[in-house]
């Protein structure tokens, strides 16, 4: 049974606050109960801001099962499908069930140190680098098969939806969001007579595990980025990345929105 509660998760800039106020008024007019923040009993979360606001809302609230939708007051807005001028249409379409639900793939990252295992989830990507912007050397395995000894700035593993973010900026490919795959992209790989690294991204089946095993000199000198959040570890042994059993549910109001986004944001 519908709770009629709708969470509104907004960043602090002026345009977002103005948009959130307008959304509140429209929701109330249509019989909903807007909640400024996160209510676990809500039937929907609306993120107002840019893609960073969407990711922060999901991460901060521990990847909840209720569906999300985004109103874009930022720049790119791949997760934020709705424009502020479309709020009335959005609420009407939602009320009349004129939408589809798309499952967003989520990464599971297991970090193995000498004494502990740390677990993370990511919507966009995980990146393993050396600290202090040094070159990192690591062995890379896919399902325990040794693929290469990598040398360079780092290795990035992205979800399909995350392929248009940091991954794309480093030369990775754009992957359609419903595909069940991982993408592993090298960041400034070293290719010389001393070191040979794969220079292009690899598309890996979603059921596989990518293992990043840094050389011992990096066990206390490493940097892991999880959706942009930074973590450092002592006695780091390896980082395993695979697709999680978790999914984020996102409302889709147009089957063409993804291709429109590709054209509008990159061309």
Residue pair 54/80 in contact (Cβ under 8 Å)? The answer is: yes
Instruction: Report the percentage of the chain scoring pLDDT > 70.
Output: 96
pLDDT band at 262 (very low <50, low <70, confident <90, very high): confident
Residue 186's pLDDT is what? 97
Find how far residue 114's CA is from the centre of its chain.
28
Residue pair 73/19 in contact (Cβ under 8 Å)? The answer is: yes
At 236, which CATH number?
Answer: 2.60.200.30
Residue 138 has pLDDT above 90, yes or no: yes
Q: Do 186 and 87 sit in the same domain of this protein?
A: no
Angle subtended at Cα 258 by Cα 43 and Cα 60, rounded to the nearest 5 degrees: 40
Domain enclosing residue 159, as ranges: 106-245
Domain count, the chain: 2
| pLDDT digits 0-9 by tens, 99-133 | 999 999 999 999 999 999 999 999 999 999 999 88
| pLDDT digits 0-9 by tens, 164-219 | 999 999 999 999 999 999 999 999 998 776 777 888 999 999 999 999 999 999 99
Q: Do 21 and 127 sit in the same domain of this protein?
A: no
CA distances, 2 to each of 32, 33, 94, 232 (Å): 10, 11, 12, 43
Domain end, chosen from 51, 78, 98, is at 98
Q: Do 80 and 182 sit in the same domain of this protein?
A: no
Q: Which of 25, 51, 143, 227 is catalytic?
A: 51
| pLDDT digits 0-9 by tens, 218-233 | 999 999 999 999 999 9
- Reply yes or no on whether 51 is catalytic: yes
């Amino acid at each position: 049974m519908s709770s009629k509660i709708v969470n509104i998760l907004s960043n602090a800039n002026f345009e977002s606050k103005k948009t959130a106020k307008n959304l509140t008024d429209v929701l109330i007019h249509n019989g909903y109960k807007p909640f400024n923040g996160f209510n676990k009993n809500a039937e929907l979360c609306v993120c107002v801001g840019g893609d960073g606001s969407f990711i922060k809302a999901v991460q901060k609230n521990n990847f909840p099962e209720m569906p999300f939708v985004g109103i874009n007051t930022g720049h790119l807005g791949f997760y934020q499908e709705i424009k502020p001028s479309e709020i009335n249409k959005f609420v009407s379409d939602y009320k009349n069930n004129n939408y589809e639900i798309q499952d967003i793939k989520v990464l599971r990252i297991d970090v193995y140190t000498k004494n502990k295992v740390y677990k993370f989830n990511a919507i966009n990507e995980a990146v393993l680098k050396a600290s202090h912007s040094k070159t990192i050397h690591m062995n890379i395995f896919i399902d325990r098969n040794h693929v290469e000894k990598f040398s360079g700035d780092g290795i990035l593993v992205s979800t399909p939806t995350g392929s248009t973010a940091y991954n794309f900026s480093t030369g990775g490919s754009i992957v359609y969001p419903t595909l069940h795959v991982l993408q592993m992209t090298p960041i400034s790989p070293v290719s010389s007579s001393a070191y040979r690294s794969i220079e292009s991204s690899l598309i890996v089946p979603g059921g596989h595990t990518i293992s990043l095993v840094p050389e011992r000199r990096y066990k206390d000198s490493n940097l892991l980025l999880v959706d942009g959040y930074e973590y450092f570890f002592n006695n780091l042994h390896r980082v395993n990345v695979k697709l999680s059993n978790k999914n984020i549910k996102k409302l889709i109001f147009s089957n063409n929105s993804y291709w429109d986004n590709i054209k509008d944001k990159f061309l």
